[in-house]
Amino acid sequence: MLVLQKQGFFVNLYRLLINYIAMTTLQIKNKLISTIKSVKDPDVLEDLYRLLNIETEDIEKLKIPARVKKAIAQGQKDIKEGRHYTNKQADDQIDRWLKK
């Protein structure tokens, strides 16, 4: 099965994005800064750095790292071979992780 890596960080980021509508710009900035400060994984930091530096016209120039291409290829293989979750299954699994 596909393994969700760095799940804690991305779950927190997901929560942050879900709640952004009710937050002021300053609150959003502070939450993002706090979340980024908690990241220990250099790969996640590198990905975030790239994401934050992308301008709309530069999206076409985005270079996908080899490790990401490899992960995408593995994910496509997993899907073809039936190793995947439905949205409901993934949501249920995330709910279980959050309860830990």
pLDDT surpassing 60 at residue 13 = yes
Cα–Cα dist 29/23, whole Å: 10
pLDDT tens for 38-96 read 988 888 888 888 787 765 455 556 677 888 888 889 989 988 998 888 888 888 888 88
pLDDT for the residue numbered 69: 86
pLDDT for the residue numbered 1: 36
Q: Are 20 and 28 in contact (CB under 8 A)?
A: yes
C-beta atoms surrounding 71 within 10 Å? 14
